[in-house]
Amino acid sequence: MRKTGFLYDDRYLLHDTGQYHPEMPDRLRAAYKGLEQAGLLQNIIPVKAVKANQKWIEAVHSIKYLMRFEDACLLGMTEFDYPDNQMCKDTYNIAALAVGGIMEAAKMMMEGRIENAFCAVRPPGHHAEVSKAMGFCYFNNVAITARYLQQEWGIGRVGIVDFDVHHGNGTQHIFEADPTVFYYSVHEHPSFSFPGTGRDFEKGIDLGYGFTLNSPMLPGQGDTEFKHLIERDLIPAFAQFQPEVIIVSAGFDAHIDDEMSNINLSTECYTWIMDKIMEMGDSYSKGRVLSVLEGGYCLERLPELIANHVRVLLGIKP
Amino acid sequence: MFIDKSMTKKVITIHKDAPILEASEKMKQNNIRHIPVVDKDNILLGVVTDRDIRSAMPSVALADLDTQKERERITKLKVEDIMTKNPVTISPANTLEDAIMLMQQTKVGAFPVVDENRKLQGIISIRDMMRAFINVLGIEEPGTLLCILVENKLGQMKRIVDAISEEKVSFGSILVARYWDENKRAVFPYLLTNNVMNIKKKLKNMGFTLLDPMNWYLDQLPKA
């Protein structure tokens, strides 16, 4: 069994999105329950949530944005930048606690105390832009962690795999001119789904051209097309790029029972993609795979999906 | 919606006596395909396109013809010899709709914009129209597109807009596709949100049909 870190903190439940918002605290409760019921809590190594040092958040987001966001929380605003982004007075601190926890997991991984990790955090991050909150996301968790790994731990090439059903516009834009971070995303086609980016001709800009890769899926497509795109696009791209660490934007909202999308992935397919990512991690990244929760809104399916996901990280065959 | 608000005003032009190689060079440098030909008072005389130039060049298939002679012939060719002398033009007071319809009819990719004295004011190309279309669709802002099938009768749009507004979601755009079905219309609201689950449920409960995205068509008109 591998040494797998697990980040979770009850304070992540405090980010209050109001009534009827899909990005709700129950999502994390479901994730935790999944590991508990599967008897996996005894196998994982807990990662402590700590508040991120602001300098790392500033490695991605503008200072003006941080101030704007913090002020909005202090003033008790319940909405930020878009009506999608419902929040409360604690949101700024919880967001800093989420990304800080992920960086802590990255640190433990680099120190060899764990081999890989799953970070069950709220709020999610991949839609957050340098200076704008978007799609329930405030700090771009994976982007900040990628910069932290590069600047604090001397990692050269970071590979990001984003299998959330929505395109990670924030992550793509942050790294689109950067050849040291490869951003790969598979998602529902932007003409049919939020946020309207991630078309197959978006491949990066300037020096970063060729280091962004998007595989849009059409509504109604499922496992077969998904697996085909991963084999056709992601596998050869990472074989060439040879990432030293792989960060996963793990969204579970492409599941057939998730009403957020029209992509019909099976439960089994989520295990399949994680197996593929682990194989790449072993081949190129010394097994260093850091998985971070993004979307996934079907409370009935999340426990099983997350338990399976962590099983793959642990190297336990179901 | 007027042409003069969307056209390119700093137009690259050329003199009628200029060699065609100069026109070709200008197109390459500026990444354009149409150059208005004007006199010293900026009066429009014609348009030269990349296609006019290509037609004037020798075919690659005939490469072993007398190349020296060919080269001389091409060097001597002037813009005036190959330009379109009576190009389709449009006025700054015309609208974008006029331009789209005219492009559809004439299959021309760009119109010189001239005033009543044929003095050149600008140029409007299919690319300018695309920019306007992207703006109208609102798709540069993040959002989600829905497709709702409705009976073709008064007041349906109000029900949809009210239902969505109650959920505090704003609209990036709304398109209505015609000729979908004799008695129906397909309404495409582009909503500036990631969160359409509740809206979809609500619309279904109101009796609307949400169309499967794989059956969405904007273009139900017979092809011209």
In one-letter notation, the amino acid at residue A210 is G
- Per-residue confidence band for B74, with pLDDT thresholds at 50, 70 and 90: confident
CB distance A191–B145 less than 8 Å? yes
C-alpha distance from B198 to closest chain A C-alpha (Å): 8
- Per-residue confidence band for B59, with pLDDT thresholds at 50, 70 and 90: low
Q: Is the pLDDT of residue A129 over 60?
A: yes
Q: Which residues of B touch A259 (CB under 8 A)?
A: 197, 200
Residue A300 neighbours by CB under 8 Å, 6+ apart: A257
Domains of chain A: 4-314 (3.40.800.20)
Class of residue B65 by CB neighbours under 10 A (exposed 0-12, middle 13-18, buried 19+): exposed
Q: Is the pLDDT of residue B63 over 50?
A: yes
Domain covering B3-134 in this structure, CATH number? 3.10.580.10
Return the percentage of chain A with pLDDT > 90, whole number. 98
Q: Which residues of A touch B193 (CB under 8 A)?
A: 82-84, 194
Q: Which residues of B touch A136 (CB under 8 A)?
A: 194
Residue A41 neighbours by CB under 8 Å, 6+ apart: A6, A35
CB distance A220–B213 less than 8 Å? yes
Q: Which tokens belong to A248?
A: 């996963």
- Per-residue confidence band for A317, with pLDDT thresholds at 50, 70 and 90: confident
Cβ pairs bridging A and B (under 8 Å): 54
Q: Which residues of B touch A84 (CB under 8 A)?
A: 193-195
Marked catalytic residue, from A127, A166, A173, A309: A127
CB distance A262–B195 less than 8 Å? no
Residues of chain B that touch chain A, judged by Cβ-Cβ distance less than 8 Å:
139-145, 168-170, 192-195, 197-198, 200, 212-214
Task: Report pLDDT for B166.
Answer: 93
CB distance A196–B142 less than 8 Å? yes
Task: Report pLDDT for B224.
Answer: 46
Q: Which residues of B touch A22 (CB under 8 A)?
A: 195, 197
Beta bridge partners of A186: A215
Tell me the average pLDDT across A185-198.
94
Q: Which of B142, B145, B200 sits opposite A192 (nearest CB)?
A: B145
The helix/strand/coil state of A261 is: coil
- CATH fold label, B138-215: VC0802-like (3.30.2130)
Instruction: Judge whether A61 counts as a catalytic residue.
Output: no
C-alpha distance from B28 to closest chain A C-alpha (Å): 21
Of the candidates A200, A285, A194, A213, which has an alpha carbon nearest to the alpha carbon of residue A247? A285
Task: Report pLDDT for B71.
Answer: 77
Tell me the average pLDDT across A19-38.
96
User: Best residue in B137, B146, B171, B195 to probe A by mutation, most A CBs within 10 Å?
Assistant: B195
Q: What is the DSSP string of B101-116?
A: HHHHHH--SEEEEE-T
Q: What is the pLDDT of residues A111-126, one digit of tens each?
A: 999 999 999 999 999 9
Domain locations in chain B as residue ranges? 3-134, 138-215
Task: Report pLDDT for B75.
Answer: 84
Answer positive or negative: Cα dihedral of A165, A150, A283, A177.
positive
Q: Which residues of A touch B145 (CB under 8 A)?
A: 191-192
Task: Report pLDDT for B214.
Answer: 80
Task: Report pLDDT for A20.
Answer: 85
Return the percentage of chain B with pLDDT > 70, whole number. 92
CB distance B194–A135 less than 8 Å? yes
- A218: closest chain B residue by CA: B214
Q: Is the pLDDT of residue A13 over 80?
A: yes
Report the alpha-carbon distance of residue B194 to residue A83 in Å, rounded: 10
Strand pairing class (A245-250; A158-162)? parallel
Task: Report pLDDT for B219.
Answer: 62
Per the rule left: phi > 0, alpha: psi between -120 and 50, beta: everything else, A259 is alpha
Residues of chain A that touch chain B, judged by Cβ-Cβ distance less than 8 Å:
20-22, 82-84, 127, 134-136, 166, 169, 191-197, 218-220, 259-260, 262, 297
Q: What is the pLDDT of residues B167-193, one digit of tens each?
A: 989 999 998 887 556 788 889 999 999
Beta bridge partners of B162: none
What's the Cα-to-Cα distance from A288 to each of A150, A213, A247, B15, rounded to whole Å?
A: 14, 21, 8, 65
Residue B137 neighbours by CB under 8 Å, 6+ apart: B172, B173, B175, B190
Q: Is the pLDDT of residue B60 over 70?
A: no
C-alpha distance from A126 to closest chain B C-alpha (Å): 13
